[in-house]
Structures are given as structure tokens and as C-alpha cells.
Amino acid sequence: MGYSREGNVANLIKIATLVLTLSLMGCQQEKDDLAAFVATVKAQKKPDIEPIPVMKPYETFSYAATELRNPFIKTIVEQPEETLVPLVENGIHPEKHRRKEALESYSLSELQLVGTLERKGIWALIRSSDGVVHRVQIGNYLGKNYGKILTITDIKVTLKEIVTEPRGGYIERESALTMVEN
């Protein structure tokens, strides 16, 4: 039994054509399903597309305020000059030649009364904004407005400050630091 090489090739070609034909028949069957789906979709009622909304015609606006002031130009309102009443010297002024104390470099809002101490008189314990606790007594100064301590109680330190007046002089005002509960 002799098989020739050409015979083998011919058989292989026949087998390949048979496989190809069978696979194409399988694809044809899948196309039938696809065709049925497309037919059902086409058979369904199509939704109506909403019409384009009608545009309102443009209404012109005539600007009737052309005679009024332009809001982009600064308005200068003439005001009468204030006549400053000359300052009568009241004798109040800070002691400029006195050596400043440590707590005079802080404003009163940066200082807290945290306690008192009695030892040969009453002392107030004041905490500065940097966390350091300072001990002061009546007559010491604190705050940026030359505040001199007048009284010390368990809950309050009263002081007299010397502040500048708008006309250039100085006035005295009373201020206080009260105990802050934590």
C-alpha cells in the first residue's frame, strides 16, 4: 500500500475544506439569531422625539439712567474741615526715662492672671503668651500702654494705663486682668 505524498496533501485539503464548511454553517446559524433580534427591535414602536423648544424673541432694553452718576467714577463729597480744639495740657504723660519691665512688651490681651501668692504682701502670677509665668506686685508695670498695677485681689488685677488721645495728648484709663478658669 503505497501512499503518495500528493495523495496525503489532497486528503488534507479535503479535510480542511470540510472543517471550514462546517464552521461557516455554524456562523450562519448565529446570524439567524442576530437577524431575529434585529427584526424584533425594528418592529417595536419608536419613541417620538420632542420638538425643539421655541426660542423667545430677544427684548431690547433701553437704559434710561444715562443722566445719573457713573458708578465707576469716585465721588468726592465735600466735608467741612474739623476744627481741632487745642489740647489743654492735663499733666498726664508716661514716664519715658523709666526702665521698662518684662511684661511691658506684651499687650494686655496676651497676658493672663493665673493666680495670686501671699508672701510679704500680695503678688499676682501672670502668664505671658510665650507660656512664662511672671510674679508682679502693686506698683509694677505691665502692658504696652504704661499700665501700673493699682490693686491685686484673688480674682482680679486692676491697673491704670496711659493712652494717647486723638488730639495728641494723654489720658488715663482703668483696665483689669481677671482670673481665667481652665
The model's pLDDT over 134-149, given as tens digits with 9 standing for 90+, comes to 999 999 999 999 999 9
Amino acid at 55: M
**In terms of Cα–Cα distance, which of 172, 91, 93, 118 is closest to 159?**
172
The model's pLDDT over 61-111, given as tens digits with 9 standing for 90+, comes to 887 877 888 778 777 777 677 666 656 677 787 888 889 999 999 999 999
> How many CB atoms within 10 Å of residue 113?
21
Per-domain boundaries in the chain: 1-41, 102-178
What does the CA dihedral 16, 17, 22, 27 come to, rounded to 10 degrees? Answer: 100
SS3 at position 18: helix
**In terms of Cα–Cα distance, which of 79, 76, 109, 82 is closest to 166?**
82
DSSP 179: B
Q: What is the pTM of this model?
A: 0.51
What pLDDT, on a 0 to 100 scale, did the predictor assign at position 134?
A: 92
What pLDDT, on a 0 to 100 scale, did the predictor assign at position 149?
A: 93
Q: Which of 3.40.1180.10, 2.30.30.830, 2.40.50.100, 3.90.280.10 is the CATH number of 102-178?
A: 2.30.30.830
What pLDDT, on a 0 to 100 scale, did the predictor assign at position 179?
A: 84
- pLDDT for residue 27 is more than 70: no
- pLDDT for residue 52 is more than 70: yes
Strand blocks (E) in the chain: 112-118, 122-127, 133-136, 141-142, 147-152, 156-164, 170-178
